[in-house]
A and B are shown apart, each in its own frame.
Chain A
Amino acid sequence: MPKLPAPPLPAALKTPPPRPGQQNANAGPFEEAKNASITVVDWVDERTSLSGAARWLMFRKVPKGTNWFYTLGSATMFAFLSQAVTGVFLAMYYRPDPAGGAYESIRYVTNDVFLGQFVRGMHKWGSSVMVVLVFLHMARTFFFGAYKYPRELNWVIGVVLLILTMVMSFTGYLLPFDQRAYWATIVGVNINGTGPLIGPYLSDFLRGGSEFGATTLSRFYAIHMLLVPGLIAALLGAHLYLVAKLGTTAPPWTKAEKRHELRETEVYVPWRTHQQALILAARRPCDEPAREGGIPPRVLDAEGAGQAVLPLRRRQGLDHGGDRDGGHHHDVARSGR
């Protein structure tokens, strides 16, 4: 029967395994409960094989140099989860009634409900936090070059998630239905309408008619709490799947360690792409250690002696020598897969 991996506890906290024959004598209620929970987990795992998926998702290899910037994505996700949870509970009190009920229900939540101001505050300020985190996460991806092959699709999904986050901010802004919410939505919908040809129809769709009317608020409410959160959750799943599948990138300043035997036996290979022919043209100093997937000194030597180094197409030449180990570094092709 498959077992979950043991939690990484220090040795002092680990209970020693029972000696043979002592197992029953030692079993207190705590031990019983622990065994019961393990039995339950095992029972589920035997029928679903979920532990494999969990291990695949959680226990991944990450490149050397992984740092705090890599937590911005999960920070964004937790901001979304916080919005989802507080939003569900706010929906228990909110009434999307444009004739005064919406404003009144928000006023009631803020002033009268126990912890109402706190939960609403988390939702309100958390939305700004989420937008800021989305942009920081996007900046990290951009400046670390983590959008490059093979992660382009994850960038695209991320951009859609950014747009959906903006839709959430826009539709959520109307819900308090005070003066600020009303006029901000009037202005926002009219900015929407300035898109040529499709804009006026999009505005009508948002308002549910040619004028801001009774259905506009319920429309925004439905988009805000049903349509877009579902889309965000689905795309978030796809985003996470691709992160687990492709792995994360090393920071751009990280240099790969060469395996010892490769340092001695470098072969003359016109190394890589047009891109590197350009790097050669920039006359990189020979004493600088080669970057991961970079140009070996022998190639640079030839360049120094005035020989032409021809670029090869795409990944040809990468399959020679191959200074790659786990295959999870961002700059190294995975050959033979």
Chain B
Amino acid sequence: MPDQHNKHKSKYTLDRGMPGAFEGETITRRRFMTGTAHGAGAIAAASFALPALGFAFGPIFKSNPHRWEVVGNIDQFPDNNYVPVVITLQPSIGEAGKSTVYMRKFNPEIDTDAADVDSHTPYIAISSRCAHVGCPVRWVDASERFICPCHGGVYDLLGRRVGGPPVRPLDRFYTRVNGENVEVGPRFSVNSQLRRFSPRDPGEPLDGIGQYMYPSRPGAQKL
């Protein structure tokens, strides 16, 4: 009778008349064994599942070393027009790891935004990766615009969006002068005021709430 059974239920196994019960014992051995078996199973499963998950998700948290690459001589780049250079973003994957960067000398007359001045870039290096979904843009000299062939993104001389679907200006690269050589370093993103942010993927806006909705990641930080 379940009712009768419940009426006499005490938390002590001794009171419940269990054979071999100890004084003060509250948990039945059956329950203890069940719990132990489940716990052991959970530990065994976790011991291979957790390392495997960490293995798969680890690259998200890995920060990459900064690479600096020589792209040309200091006299090679004018200050009012872009010169395309090819840099290697990812070694070890061949041609797929290379990307075009548009280079020009810093020009105090047009690079007047505060971010330009304090980003320590003696040369302006504009990434050819469209800020919409990442197609390669090209610099069209005649119209003085960067134009994306995929979905019609258009950017001006400073890489700011003037038309199409992109959500922020074109990304830039840090540059530095090493003797006679110009070097291109890590990438950073800018918002529509050309303020610097850690590099974001295309399609992630940086104005207003955007910078919080699309947080920077450990694997890619600005200098």
Contact = CB atoms under 8 A, between A and B. Distances in A.
Interface of A: 98-100, 177, 182-183, 186-187, 189-191, 193-194, 196-197, 199-201, 203-205, 207-215, 217
Interface stretch (B10-18, B68-76, B201-209): B201-209
B89 A187 contact: no
B111 to A, nearest CB: 27
13 contacts: A98-B92, A99-B92, A186-B135, A190-B133, A193-B204, A197-B215, A200-B215, A210-B217, A210-B219, A210-B220, A212-B90, A212-B93, A212-B96
A182 B96 CA distance: 8
B203 A215 contact: no
A196 B214 contact: yes
B90 A211 contact: yes
A191 B203 contact: yes
Interface string B180-201: 0000000000000000000111
Contacts of A177: 96
Nearest to B57: A205
B164 interface: no
A246 B59 CA distance: 44
A213 B62 CA distance: 13
Contact of A213 (B90, B135, B150, B202): B90
A100 B213 contact: no
A215 B62 CA distance: 13
A190 B202 contact: yes
A98 B91 CA distance: 11
Contact of A205 (B56, B93, B202, B203): B56
A228 to B, nearest CB: 14
Given A196-B213, A204-B59, A212-B97, 15 more contacts: A186-B133, A187-B133, A187-B134, A187-B150, A190-B203, A191-B133, A193-B203, A197-B214, A199-B214, A200-B200, A200-B217, A205-B60, A208-B59, A213-B97, A214-B90
Contacts of B199: 210
Contacts of B54: none
Task: Give the interface size class of chain B.
Answer: 20 to 34
Contacts of A207: 59
Given A193-B203, A209-B62, A210-B219, A100 B94 contact: yes
B143 interface: no
A210 B64 contact: yes
Contact of A203 (B93, B150, B201, B213): B201
Contacts of A217: 93
A215 B204 contact: no
Interface in B127-150: 133-135, 150
Contacts of B59: 204-205, 207-209, 215
B203 A194 contact: yes
Given A187-B134, A205-B57, A199 B217 contact: no
A213 B93 contact: yes
Nearest to B202: A190
A233 to B, nearest CB: 20
B93 to A, nearest CB: 4
B89 A199 contact: no
Contacts of B62: 209
Given A191-B133, A205-B56, A199 B93 contact: no
Given A98-B93, A99-B92, A215-B59, A197 B201 contact: no
A291 B89 CA distance: 67
Contacts of A99: 92-94
A194 B166 CA distance: 12
A211 B97 CA distance: 9
A299 B66 CA distance: 80
Contact of B204 (A98, A183, A199): A199
